[in-house]
Amino acid sequence: MKRVLPDNKPTLDYELWKSLTNPMIQYQAVQKSDRKWLSSIDRGFSQSSDLWVKEGRDRSKNDTTKVFDFISLSNLFESWFDELKFNKQDLADRIGQRITMIPGAGTYFEGEENTLLEINWIILGRVIGAAVANIGAAEKWWYQKGNDAHVALQFWSHLKRDVVGHRYDATVHANDFTILAQGIEGDNWKKTGDFYRQNGFDPDSEILRSVGHRASSPFWQENHRPNRYYANPFAINHQKSLFAKFSGVEDPEELSKFHGSLTLGVLGDALKSLRGDNPDRFANFAIKIHGMCAFHIVRTDIIQQKIGLHLFSNLVARKMSRDVGGSNVPDIAKNLKTGFGLAKVLNILADKNHKVIQWNSVEKEIVDKIVDGLK
């Protein structure tokens, strides 16, 4: 049944957003206090929540004006899309220069440089999903802890330890990605892999990702040396960023309860860096995002996919392919059917520290009038 857009014409989302933003902005940002309030009152599955119904929701605790919510990708992503559209060759050249400075990157990306220009939004969605799950679990909003990301953290550390061996100075070396850049011998790979295989994660299955998209793949094998494995140097960089952030936090929780915040923090830093005037900022952004995706090697939790992969890819796909700047939440909630409280998810994603999305509301009356005019 119709909530905002007619069921048989979901593509009116483009005209609706255009009408809301042109000639004058008819939406307003959902303020922090309202986001918190909405998080606290959102109950049940997204499709049955009272907040996302066709009648709209109260604007705030003290204002009963009915509104519909709209979410958009952070406008910081906009500059990335523009750079890709209007300055692609320069971006490729700059990434090319940057990788010459990263040990092992030349070998890892040889012949696959074109993938460096393309962000793997599906994996990034999973990264975000695992992070949101972890943050919500720490708040005791749900039980899913984003274990995928935690196992990934453990695996990378474990792998580096196994490669370096039990040396007195192993920790120092374990932080040095030049070692992994030289390749991992089959025995070390098997040793680490066997432990995780017995616990439900097979790192061999992740090698396949290098076939689809080398830039965001965690591992790669040369065709003629089946017993030698290479780790994506960007992933090792990402690990360094995560731990740098972790060590900079005052009184952090234990890592298993905190990795979601760290991940979104690193993503937020990457997004904010797009605002500066460093000519390499877009190349650096691409490298950071590829590293973040490559680092995420465990993809077993189906439940968190809905809040990460599907929610995020919905926004990305519509923006990239049809320039739809914002989507209404009631229709998303209806289709997503997630058991995670959607207002809580949106609250996390809209946090000012990373601001992956922008969360706005529009008066129901205005939206209905526009939609009626579009039919």
Partner 1 sequence: MITVIDGHLSNRPAGGSDFTVGDISGVDYDSNLIPWCKGNSVSVDQRTLDPYRQMFQILIGKARHRLTLIDQGDLKNPMLNSGLDFSDLEALYGKAQARGGRRIMAGEFSGKWKKAELLFINLLLGKHIQLYENKDTHAKVIQGDILQQLNLGVHAKDWEAEGDEKWMMKGICSFLAENQKNGAHIRINESFGWETYIRDRWGAPDGIPGVIPGNLTRKHVGTPTMHIPLHFVLAETLARAMGSMQETEWGKNQSKIRRDMADGALDHPLKDRINLNSFYQLFTKHAAAHMADSFFLRHTDDKTSARYELIEIVNSEPKQWDVIFEPEFLRWRTNQRTRDRTGGVQ
Kindly give the residue spans of alpha helices, DSSP state H, lying in 53-103: 75-86, 88-99
The angle at the Cα of 313, spanning 310 to 319, to the nearest 5 degrees, equals 145
Contact, 144 vs 153, CB < 8 A?
no
Single out the residue of 223, 218, 215 nearest to residue 115, CA to CA: 215
* Rounded distance between C-alpha atoms, residue 8 and residue 2, angstroms: 9
Q: Which of 110, 139, 253, 365 binds partner 1 (CB under 8 A)?
A: 110
What's the closest the beta carbon of residue 204 comes to partner 1, in angstroms?
A: 6
Does position 226 bind partner 1 by CB under 8 A? Answer: yes
d(CA 230, CA 222): 8
**Edge-to-edge, what's the strand order for the sheet holding 219-221?**
184-185, 228-231, 219-221
Please report whether residue 208 would count as binding partner 1 according to CB under 8 A: yes
Nearer to partner 1, 67 or 181 (CB): 181
Residue 12 within binding range of partner 1, rule CB under 8 A: yes
Nearer to partner 1, 233 or 265 (CB): 233
Q: Is 317 in the site for partner 1 (CB under 8 A)?
A: yes
User: What span, in angstroms and rounded, lies between the C-alpha atoms of 230 and 221?
Assistant: 6
Candidates 136-144, 161-169, 212-220, 234-242: pick the segment binding partner 1 (CB under 8 A).
Answer: 212-220
Binding of partner 1 at residue 204 (CB under 8 A)? yes
Sole binder of partner 1 in the list 101, 198, 250, 352 (CB under 8 A): 198
Least spacing, CB of residue 307 vs partner 1, in Å? 10
Binding track over 55-94 against partner 1, x by CB under 8 A: ----------------------------------------
Determine contact, residues 117/88, Cβ cutoff 8 Å: yes
Strands (E) across the chain are located at 28-29, 57-60, 63-73, 184-185, 219-221, 228-231, 327-328, 357-363
Footprint of partner 1 on residues 244-303 (CB under 8 A)? 299-300, 302
Where along the sequence are the contacts to partner 1 (CB under 8 A)?
A: 7-12, 14-15, 110-112, 118, 120-123, 125, 194, 197-198, 200, 202, 204-205, 208-209, 211-213, 216, 222-227, 299-300, 302, 305-306, 309-310, 313-314, 316-318, 321-322, 334-337, 374
